[in-house]
């Protein structure tokens, strides 16, 4: 039985009100049909910090199962879980066993139970799949320690990578002469580190560094440096300018891998990170720095080098020549593990860091991804999955640079969506928003009919939307309302629906804060090593308190999610811009299967009016803030929104 929610109608002056039950939201979904799935709302959650079922300070899989009503109440029809496979870090992006569940998060039985219980509520489970790299586990240790290891080919290994790259032997680079990101690290060999007092003299003009053993007095790191060393477990050490292009420091070094030079204290991009070319330093001799390969600068020994796009703890996986990646042993092993989870009932995968699988080479990556998608979709269909498997890639780039990835995958995160939205809200300019979004979509069309534009605000790797919007709740509600009235497949990141804030400046943990379920209850902090901003986690920000307030951020998310799940025009509609001369007003229609809604948002902090010709502006299906209609004039209060049935 189809239920139609008329949340607000025929109100001349309306304030958002969606009095869902005050606990965890209840049923906020139409049961998704096959046609409804493409525009479903997905909730992105950090398993380690969402909900802790056993009080050990780690969020866990059972905690999710216990809060399915909350997710259902948010209108979610899918959950993207942070990696649940066994790993060594709290965040899980360094998987060491793709076939097992991280015991800190639960058991395989817990995972199966979550899949089944979620399915009963019309909620699919998407796994985060890390294909670019693994952690340093059994596979890696075997690969670097045994020339005959079956895992030798799984990693990007070389004993002379300068020559191997030049000769085109490094398949991972897909023909590029240097990586787009990352560096070579020593995996084995003699004594490559150093412990003792050293003097470092960086000649930035010549791009050389001279290291000398010394008994001179040690210096502390220069906090106002412009050039830094990155050393062992110490991390950042600031050099002192001593005239011209020279920067120096003397300190006690303790490193088991060597060091790197950095020209930025915040960026790891190539061009700001300087290392070596596969050789060790000689004390007292200038050593020439290299920014394109940027391998660790070591103190001796013989080396096997491995390549890592990200941290040294996450060696890149090697799939061989991209055109036949599916024949590589690493691909087969990863695919076999994916088969296991898909056959258990997983309905989708979120693929991490897909532009780095072949070092920012779009054609190579898209070719690889198509093979991966086809393989997984085959498994999904063979087990009787509905439609096609869902798969979304994290290609963290502007829309124009990632569009061609749609040749490989049905869905990609649209980072430009949020970058545009926050810019427009902060500039109080809404009347070019629809045109901009349609421009993104037009870039995708040539590459895949039926592309699924995965739209989002912030995620677990970005400063919180709350910060980007000045911790202004009115703007946060507006952003949520825009997200849930835009074309595409919206992702809600854990905490955004509660108005969380947090930045990466003191650690990524601060953008991955646990959900505060009740006014007085505690939150799990062990996984995050205590790095939780308790000043934010007041009683008022809790789910309990926000559920009881009709004007909370949470209630706005619930109301707009309910509208999206009720009106196919919102969930599945084609967007059409409605031109508007009021700069702060964003206006568009969404139409599907004979149903049309008019979407109106005020991106500004002052009331605005617009003459809306040829549209009905009387029948609201959902609203936030204040709005009114008089004749053909629509008026919206500050940062307010309304959706009007046509």
> Nearer Cβ to Mg ion, position 52 or 72?
52
User: Closest separation between CB of residue 506 and Mg ion, Å?
Assistant: 24
User: Closest separation between CB of residue 60 and Mg ion, Å?
Assistant: 4
Stretch binding Mg ion (CB under 5 A), from 50-58, 128-136, 153-161, 404-412: 50-58
In this structure, the dihedral spanned by the alpha carbons of residues 370, 355, 152 and 187, taken in order and rounded to 10 degrees, is -170
- The Cα–Cα gap between 262 and 272 comes to 6
Per-residue contact track with Mg ion, 244 to 273, x per CB under 5 A?
------------------------------
- The Cα–Cα gap between 311 and 133 comes to 10
- The Cα–Cα gap between 378 and 391 comes to 13
- Confirm or reject binding of residue 56 to Mg ion (CB under 5 A): yes
Is 394 tagged catalytic? yes
Stretch binding Mg ion (CB under 5 A), from 57-65, 200-208, 380-388, 487-495: 57-65
User: Closest separation between CB of residue 49 and Mg ion, Å?
Assistant: 10
User: Closest separation between CB of residue 340 and Mg ion, Å?
Assistant: 24
- Confirm or reject binding of residue 327 to Mg ion (CB under 5 A): no
Phi, psi angles (nearest 5°) of residue 190: -75, -145
> Nearer Cβ to Mg ion, position 61 or 342?
61
C-alpha to C-alpha distances, 570 to 26, 142, 564, 566, 576, nearest whole angstrom = 21, 52, 5, 8, 12
Positive or negative: CA dihedral 163, 166, 167, 168: positive
User: Closest separation between CB of residue 495 and Mg ion, Å?
Assistant: 18
> Nearer Cβ to Mg ion, position 56 or 254?
56
Q: Which residue is nearest to Mg ion (CB)?
A: 60
Stretch binding Mg ion (CB under 5 A), from 59-67, 263-271, 292-300, 342-350: 59-67
> Nearer Cβ to Mg ion, position 105 or 402?
105
- The contacts found for 626-630 with CB under 8 angstroms, 24 or more apart, are 626/13, 626/14, 626/15, 627/13, 627/14, 627/600, 628/12, 628/13, 629/12
- Confirm or reject binding of residue 593 to Mg ion (CB under 5 A): no
Stretch binding Mg ion (CB under 5 A), from 56-64, 140-148, 176-184, 455-463: 56-64
User: Closest separation between CB of residue 524 and Mg ion, Å?
Assistant: 6
- Confirm or reject binding of residue 54 to Mg ion (CB under 5 A): yes
Is 110 tagged catalytic? no
Max intra-chain CA distance, the chain: 85
| Among candidate residues 590, 587, 640, 575, the one with its CA nearest the CA of residue 611 | 587
- Confirm or reject binding of residue 58 to Mg ion (CB under 5 A): yes
- Confirm or reject binding of residue 296 to Mg ion (CB under 5 A): no
Among residues 40, 94, 124, 394, which one is catalytic? 394
> Nearer Cβ to Mg ion, position 52 or 124?
52
596: helix, strand or coil:
strand
Stretch binding Mg ion (CB under 5 A), from 49-57, 174-182, 452-460, 546-554: 49-57
Stretch binding Mg ion (CB under 5 A), from 54-62, 209-217, 444-452, 598-606: 54-62
- Confirm or reject binding of residue 138 to Mg ion (CB under 5 A): no
> Nearer Cβ to Mg ion, position 47 or 144?
47
User: Closest separation between CB of residue 123 and Mg ion, Å?
Assistant: 21
Among residues 40, 352, 496, 497, which one is catalytic? 352
User: Closest separation between CB of residue 64 and Mg ion, Å?
Assistant: 11
> Nearer Cβ to Mg ion, position 63 or 135?
63
- Confirm or reject binding of residue 110 to Mg ion (CB under 5 A): no
> Nearer Cβ to Mg ion, position 44 or 53?
53
Q: Which residues contact 492 (CB under 8 A, 6 or more apart)?
A: 41, 42, 43, 44, 74, 76, 457, 480, 483, 557
> Nearer Cβ to Mg ion, position 60 or 316?
60
Contact 355, 365 (CB under 8 A): yes
> Nearer Cβ to Mg ion, position 59 or 315?
59
User: Closest separation between CB of residue 93 and Mg ion, Å?
Assistant: 19
Positive or negative: CA dihedral 103, 108, 114, 115: positive
- The Cα–Cα gap between 371 and 320 comes to 13
Stretch binding Mg ion (CB under 5 A), from 60-68, 248-256, 323-331, 341-349: 60-68
Stretch binding Mg ion (CB under 5 A), from 53-61, 83-91, 124-132, 135-143: 53-61
Count of residues that interact with Mg ion, criterion CB under 5 A = 5
- Confirm or reject binding of residue 60 to Mg ion (CB under 5 A): yes
User: Closest separation between CB of residue 46 and Mg ion, Å?
Assistant: 13
Phi, psi angles (nearest 5°) of residue 619: -100, 95
Contact 641, 482 (CB under 8 A): yes
255: helix, strand or coil:
strand
- The Cα–Cα gap between 100 and 94 comes to 13
For residue 55, the tally of other CB atoms under 10 A from its CB is: 9
- The Cα–Cα gap between 597 and 619 comes to 10
Positive or negative: CA dihedral 76, 82, 85, 86: negative
Alpha helices, DSSP H only, in 494-566?
Answer: 543-547, 553-566
> Nearer Cβ to Mg ion, position 58 or 405?
58
Contact 584, 431 (CB under 8 A): yes
Positive or negative: CA dihedral 464, 468, 474, 479: negative
User: Closest separation between CB of residue 105 and Mg ion, Å?
Assistant: 8
Eight-class DSSP state of 515: P
Q: Please, which residues bridge with residue 246 across strands?
A: 203
Among residue numbers 393 through 412, which ones bind Mg ion (CB under 5 A)? none
- Confirm or reject binding of residue 52 to Mg ion (CB under 5 A): yes
- The Cα–Cα gap between 222 and 224 comes to 6
- The Cα–Cα gap between 428 and 425 comes to 5
Catalytic residues: 352, 394
- Binding-site ranges for Mg ion (CB under 5 A): 52, 54, 56, 58, 60
């Amino acid at each position: 039985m189809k239920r139609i929610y008329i949340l607000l109608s025929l109100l001349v002056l309306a304030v958002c009100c969606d009095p869902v039950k005050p606990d965890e939201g209840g049923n906020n979904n139409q049961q998704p049909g096959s046609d409804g799935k493409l525009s479903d709302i997905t909730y992105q959650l950090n398993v380690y910090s969402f909900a802790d079922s056993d009080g050990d300070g780690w969020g866990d899989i059972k905690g999710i199962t216990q809060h399915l009503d909350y997710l259902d109440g948010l209108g979610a029809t899918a959950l993207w879980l942070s990696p649940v496979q066994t790993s060594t870090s709290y965040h899980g992006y360094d998987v060491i066993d793709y076939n097992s569940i991280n015991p800190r998060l639960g058991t395989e039985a817990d995972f199966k139970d979550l899949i089944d219980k979620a399915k009963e509520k019309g909620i699919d489970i998407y796994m985060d799949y890390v294909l670019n790299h693994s952690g340093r586990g059994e596979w890696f240790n075997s690969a670097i320690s045994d020339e005959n290891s079956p895992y030798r080919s799984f990693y990007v290994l070389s004993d002379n990578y300068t020559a191997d790259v030049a000769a085109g032997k490094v398949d991972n680079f897909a023909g590029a002469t240097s990586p787009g990101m990352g560096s070579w690290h020593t995996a084995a060999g003699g004594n490559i580190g150093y412990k003792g007092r050293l003097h470092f003299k960086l000649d930035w003009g010549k791009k050389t560094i001279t290291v000398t053993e010394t008994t001179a007095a040690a210096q502390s790191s220069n906090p106002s440096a412009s050039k830094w060393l990155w050393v062992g477990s110490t991390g950042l050490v600031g050099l002192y300018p001593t005239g011209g292009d020279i920067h120096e420091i003397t300190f006690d070094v303790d490193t088991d891998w060597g060091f790197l030079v950095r020209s930025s204290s915040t960026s790891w991009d190539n061009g700001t990170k300087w290392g070596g070319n596969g050789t060790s330093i000689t004390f007292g001799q200038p050593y020439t720095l290299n920014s394109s390969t940027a391998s660790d600068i070591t103190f001796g020994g013989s080396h096997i080098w491995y390549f890592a796009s990200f941290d040294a703890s996450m060696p890149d996986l090697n799939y061989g020549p991209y055109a036949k990646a599916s024949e590589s042993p690493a691909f087969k092993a990863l695919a076999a593990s994916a088969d296991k989870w898909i056959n258990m009932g997983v309905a989708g995968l979120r693929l991490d860091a897909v532009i780095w699988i072949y070092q920012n080479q779009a054609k190579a990556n898209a070719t690889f991804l198509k093979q991966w998608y086809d393989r997984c979709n085959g498994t999904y269909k063979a087990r009787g999955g509905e439609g096609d498997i869902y798969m979304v890639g994290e290609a963290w780039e502007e829309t124009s640079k990632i569009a061609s990835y749609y040749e490989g995958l049905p869905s990609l995160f649209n980072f430009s969506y949020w970058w545009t939205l926050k810019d427009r809200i902060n500039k109080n300019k809404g009347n070019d928003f629809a045109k901009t979004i349609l421009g993104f979509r037009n870039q995708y069309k040539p590459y895949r009919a039926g592309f699924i534009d995965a739209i989002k605000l912030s995620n677990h790797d970005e400063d919180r939307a709350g910060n980007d919007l000045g911790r202004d709740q009115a703007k946060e509600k507006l952003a949520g309302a825009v997200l849930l009235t835009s074309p595409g497949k919206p992702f809600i990141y854990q905490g955004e629906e509660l108005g969380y804030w947090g930045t990466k400046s003191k650690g990524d943990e601060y953008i991955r804060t646990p959900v505060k379920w009740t006014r007085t209850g505690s939150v799990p902090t062990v996984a995050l090593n205590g790095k939780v901003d308790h000043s934010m986690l007041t009683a008022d920000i809790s789910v309990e308190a926000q559920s009881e307030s009709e004007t909370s951020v949470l209630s706005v998310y619930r109301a707009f999610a309910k509208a999206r799940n009720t009106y196919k025009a919102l969930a599945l509609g084609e967007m059409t811009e409605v031109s508007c001369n009021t700069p702060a007003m964003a206006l568009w229609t969404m139409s599907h299967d004979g149903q049309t809604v008019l979407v109106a948002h005020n991106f500004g902090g002052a009331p605005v009016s617009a003459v809306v010709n040829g549209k009905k502006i009387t029948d609201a299906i959902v609203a936030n803030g204040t709005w009114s209609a008089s004749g053909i004039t629509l008026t919206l209060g500050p940062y307010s929104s309304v959706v009007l049935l046509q």
